[in-house]
Chains A and B, each alone.
Chain A
Amino acid sequence: MINADGYRFDPGFLVDHLGELGGGLVRTVEISAIGMAGALVVGALLGAVSAFRVPVARQLVRVYVEVFRNTPLLVQIFFLYFALPEVGLRLDAFTVGWLSLLLWGGAYNVENFRAGFEAVEAGYVEACRALGFSRLAAFGQVGFPLGWRIALPSVTNTQISVFKNSSFMIAISYPELTETAVNIVAVSFRVFEMFLAIGVIYLGLVWLMSIGTRAVERRFAIPGGH
């Protein structure tokens, strides 16, 4: 590729910077992995609280979910990074990175899991109760195993979004993949090489994740169901 100013695509440049990009990729995977795992746990726990209609706790979960779903993740990141120090809580970019992803993805997963738990046929749970199971046991034995499977497709969508949104950490200069690439562009102007590289990396990883999640969805599909 060449333009009027003599810009020429230089694969060698790309090869020279693969190490740097690899470092960025590792940091992207780190914060995404912690954020995704946290979002899963938070989502399942609070989703159960929501579906169970636990008094008070349920209203608090509602507030958490609405606040985090109706404000931009980037503003949440800025708030954690720039505003919290004012009230004496100073977090480094790494902590803000995984924490913001966890809180944001968690809010979406609460809704995903709640919807999944609530979609479990009421008759199954009633049958359990008739057999003398406590409410908690009925949930543990039937509600949860069925509900999380129903929630799975929407949960995996959220998880993939969490991974992609790790790129937002460029705004607080955390050296993940995007920040690394943009920094290289800023000093070298090798725009096509860098964006081709990270574009391929992100698309490839998202593609792998969706193949993986589809396999998981098939593996745990409810026979005959939903």
Chain B
Amino acid sequence: MPVWVGPVASYLATGLRTTALLALTSVLASIAVGVVLGTLLTLPSRLVRAVIRAYVEIWRGLPIIIILFFIFFVLPVVGLTVDTFTAAAIGLSLWGSANMAEVVRGAVQSVPRGQAEAGAALGFPWPSRMRYVILPQATRRALPPLVGLVVNLTQQTSLAAVIGLLDILEASQRSIERLTLTGGDTHAVPILGAVLVVFFVICLPLTMLSRWLERRLR
């Protein structure tokens, strides 16, 4: 094995830890915020729905890279200094929570209307109707797109490299630069190939899980 492989591999491993932590943080935040917003989107109140709809449309409609840059550049201007990890986590969570809200809304609305009406007829108020009748059924339907969103967010963490976060992609880029400066050879094919493989190995099982869940629902 060539001498450069060892140091590069351990450097990439450090980056991978950052990537994993960022993915975990944004997935959890997206689910937490998205479930609340998505549930509120099914409320009868027009005003509540309009406000949340605006949130969802803005963060879903913008390219994620714009959201990341926006957070990264704007927070310091309004006096908040944040590191690249926080900026990336906030940006990805804004995008993720908006998408999660749509997943939850879709799942809730796919539960046949009769279920909610039956609950209402039995005297359940809206919160109990959600808690005992709608959400247990909606959860099953939300699972395949939820896993899809996890795959998506995991892949989008790589964008944090563009605002300078030392994730696995940025680690690979710095390794390539360093090798070019010292030896003249970039070794970009094996290094970037390894990054592709790492993402593939993480995402493929999740994609297959999502498909399997979808088939099982039919």
* Residue interface bits A168-197, CB-to-B below 8 A is 1, else 0: 101100000010001001000101100100
A-B pair number, CB within 8 angstroms: 115
Interface residue from B173, B195, B207 paired with A69 (Cβ < 8 Å)? B207
Interface residue from A3, A74, A79 paired with B193 (Cβ < 8 Å)? A79
Once the chains bind, are B63 and A167 in contact (CB under 8 Å)? yes
Interface residue from B69, B176, B189, B191 paired with A178 (Cβ < 8 Å)? B69
**Bound complex: CA A202 to CA B63 (Å):** 8
CB distance from A14 to the nearest CB of B (A): 16
Once the chains bind, are A86 and B63 in contact (CB under 8 Å)? no
Q: How large is the interface on A (under 10, 10 to 19, 20 to 34, 35 or more residues)?
A: 35 or more
* Residue interface bits A14-28, CB-to-B below 8 A is 1, else 0: 000000000000000
Once the chains bind, are B192 and A75 in contact (CB under 8 Å)? yes
**Bound complex: CA A167 to CA B189 (Å):** 24
| SS class, residues of chain B in contact with chain A | helix
Interface residue from A72, A83, A178 paired with B156 (Cβ < 8 Å)? A72
Contacts of B79 in A (CB 8 A): 3-4
**Stretch from B26-34, B138-146, B157-165 at the A interface:** B157-165
| SS class, residues of chain A in contact with chain B | helix
Q: Is B78 part of the contact surface with A, judged by Cβ < 8 Å?
A: yes
Once the chains bind, are A165 and B188 in contact (CB under 8 Å)? no
Once the chains bind, are A203 and B77 in contact (CB under 8 Å)? no
Nearest A residue to B74 via CB reads: A191
**Bound complex: CA A208 to CA B19 (Å):** 34
* Residue interface bits B156-194, CB-to-A below 8 A is 1, else 0: 111101100000010011001000000000111101110
Interface residue from B61, B158, B159, B192 paired with A83 (Cβ < 8 Å)? B192
Once the chains bind, are B77 and A192 in contact (CB under 8 Å)? yes
Contacts of A164 in B (CB 8 A): 62-64
Q: A3-B78, A70-B200, A71-B196 are in contact. Are A185 and B73 (CB under 8 A)?
A: yes
Q: How large is the interface on B (under 10, 10 to 19, 20 to 34, 35 or more residues)?
A: 35 or more
* Residue interface bits B57-69, CB-to-A below 8 A is 1, else 0: 1100111111001
Contacts of B74 in A (CB 8 A): 191-192, 195
Interface residue from A70, A74, A86 paired with B159 (Cβ < 8 Å)? A74
- 21 A-B pairs with C-beta separation under 8 A: A66-B200, A66-B207, A67-B200, A69-B207, A72-B199, A75-B195, A75-B196, A79-B192, A79-B196, A82-B173, A85-B188, A164-B62, A164-B63, A164-B64, A166-B63, A178-B66, A191-B77, A192-B74, A195-B70, A195-B74, A199-B66
Chain A residues within 8 Å of B, Cβ to Cβ? 3-5, 7, 66-67, 69-76, 78-79, 82-83, 85-87, 164-168, 170-171, 178, 182, 185, 189, 191-192, 195, 198-199, 202-203, 206-207
Name 18 extra pairs, CB < 8 A, besides A71-B200, A191-B74. Answer: A3-B78, A3-B79, A69-B207, A70-B203, A71-B155, A73-B155, A74-B162, A78-B169, A83-B186, A83-B188, A165-B63, A170-B162, A178-B65, A195-B66, A195-B73, A202-B61, A203-B58, A203-B62
